[in-house]
Amino acid sequence: MTNETILEALKSVTYPGFTKDIVTFGFVKDVKVEGDKVSILVDITSSAPEVKAQITDEATVELKKLGFLAVDVTIKAPQAPKQMSNSVSGKNIAPHVKNFVMVSSGKGGVGKSTTSVNIAIAMAMQGKKVGILDADIYGPNIPRMMGLQNVKPEIQGNKVQPLQAYGVEMMSMGSLMEEGQSLIWRGSMIMKAIEQFLRDILWSELDVLVIDMPPGTGDAQLSLAQSVPVTAGIVVTTPQQVSLDDSKRSLDMFEKLHIPIAGVVENMSGFICPSCETESDIFGMGTSKEVAASYNAELMAQIPIEPAIRIGGDTGKPVIFHNPDSETAKRYQTAASNLLAFIDKVNAEGGADNSAVQPTTPPGVSACSTGAAASQPEPSGGGCGCS
């Protein structure tokens, strides 16, 4: 029996929470055969005991199928991190939040806010302490989607208590302004607002803060990445080519900002008829898979167009909580589990690090005021916004 045959058999063992297998991930480090005994060494990135147990069980079954009488699976796993983590290098202005997740898209209106709300609540339903920050300063929609429209937060000194719904803490510019008011802000003011949302909101010791971004790749994204180490980035796209094109820009931005990519959520992927539950293709389906793969990312979920999702958003009754048995809710739950496994993996590998994306000017010195800045090319995506 060759090692190739054994590795081929081990390709049936998927890494828990992912679609890829342990061989493709490169986790199988050694294979030894002695007569009817086989020993393998698997070096994984998660410290979770259930991950270790699942791989051991599945690998044993696959190797026994090859006819081995004795199977020895050794799993090398990292030490469990002391906390779920970001005791990391780089700047962190909200160290009591363990993990930050940035939800982005290249195009507007593809379902970032809907995805953020449903995945945040799904993680809370799975027992995590979760917050959601609506960083869409110009178009804050999260209060309505969480049923917190017109609820005003409590102010404590110069800090603000987040609101609460569905077991999730929430803050949004929409909760701080009167309904229908608009903001006309320059880039530097957006950057300040993002910082204040992280520093001056009394978030609890959260496991995960989901941050719903405005569309595109601008000041808000850069400012966030410079303020806190972002553990995971999610790109939301619809299946049409025009949206996929823009989603590549978001994936590229995550790479430039050193944000580990948890995956792509394909939203409005097919349509489930509310009467007969038939799934039909409207904008296309499954097209995001290739884009995700080109950035070594997972397709985390395909969420269909479903009236219940839109109604849930408009009425503040998210589908994940109010229709928990629906197919859509199950897909959001799977995406949430995948996200938590990914966060676990990033932390086991040393956590997020934003030291490489810090501004290059010394603290307290504006890039506008240094003569050097004028003669140097701007770092991509950076700049102070002055002209």
Ligand X SMILES: Nc1ncnc2c1ncn2[C@@H]1O[C@H](COP(=O)(O)OP(=O)(O)OP(=O)(O)O)[C@@H](O)[C@H]1O
Q: Which residues bind ligand X (CB under 6 A)?
A: 105, 108-114, 136, 139, 141, 215, 267-268, 303, 305-306, 309-310, 313
| Residue 132 binding result from ligand X, Mg ion, none, given CB thresholds of 5 to 8 Å by partner type | none
| In the complex, least distance from residue 159 CB atom to ligand X, rounded to whole angstroms | 27
Residue 351, phi-psi category: left (phi > 0), alpha (psi -120 to 50), beta (remainder): left
Interface with Mg ion (CB under 5 A): 112-113, 141
| Residue 114 binding result from ligand X, Mg ion, none, given CB thresholds of 5 to 8 Å by partner type | ligand X
Task: Provide the CA 228 distance to its chain's centre, in angstroms.
Answer: 14
Closer CB to ligand X, residue 167 or residue 316? Answer: 316
362: buried, middle or exposed (CB in 10 Å: 19+, 13-18, 0-12)? exposed
| In the complex, least distance from residue 240 CB atom to ligand X, rounded to whole angstroms | 14
Q: How many CB atoms lie within 10 A of CB 199?
A: 13
Closer CB to ligand X, residue 216 or residue 382? Answer: 216
* Close Cβ partners of 107 (under 8 Å, ≥ 6 residues apart): 215, 237, 238, 242, 243, 246, 247
| Residue 215 binding result from Mg ion, ligand X, none, given CB thresholds of 5 to 8 Å by partner type | ligand X
Closer CB to Mg ion, residue 112 or residue 144? Answer: 112
Residue 41, phi-psi category: left (phi > 0), alpha (psi -120 to 50), beta (remainder): beta
Closer CB to ligand X, residue 56 or residue 267? Answer: 267
Integer Cα distance of 342 and 87 in angstroms: 17
Closer CB to ligand X, residue 243 or residue 338? Answer: 243
| Residue 267 binding result from Mg ion, ligand X, none, given CB thresholds of 5 to 8 Å by partner type | ligand X
Integer Cα distance of 49 and 297 in angstroms: 24
| In the complex, least distance from residue 306 CB atom to ligand X, rounded to whole angstroms | 5
Pairing mode of beta strands 28-34, 279-280? unpaired
| Residue 268 binding result from ligand X, Mg ion, none, given CB thresholds of 5 to 8 Å by partner type | ligand X
| In the complex, least distance from residue 212 CB atom to Mg ion, rounded to whole angstroms | 6
Closer CB to ligand X, residue 315 or residue 366? Answer: 315
| In the complex, least distance from residue 181 CB atom to Mg ion, rounded to whole angstroms | 17
| Residue 306 binding result from Mg ion, ligand X, none, given CB thresholds of 5 to 8 Å by partner type | ligand X
| In the complex, least distance from residue 112 CB atom to Mg ion, rounded to whole angstroms | 5
| Residue 106 binding result from ligand X, Mg ion, none, given CB thresholds of 5 to 8 Å by partner type | none
CA angle (89, 354, 294) in 5-degree steps: 130
Closer CB to Mg ion, residue 141 or residue 175? Answer: 141
Closer CB to ligand X, residue 98 or residue 112? Answer: 112
| Residue 313 binding result from ligand X, Mg ion, none, given CB thresholds of 5 to 8 Å by partner type | ligand X
| In the complex, least distance from residue 19 CB atom to Mg ion, rounded to whole angstroms | 27
DSSP 190-223: HHHHHHHHHHSB---S-SEEEEEPPSSSSHHHHH
| In the complex, least distance from residue 288 CB atom to ligand X, rounded to whole angstroms | 13
Please give the sequence-ordered ranges of beta strands (E in DSSP) within the chain, or none if there are none: 28-34, 37-43, 70-76, 100-104, 130-134, 155-156, 159-160, 163-165, 168-172, 208-212, 232-237, 261-272, 279-280, 299-305
Integer Cα distance of 377 and 375 in angstroms: 7
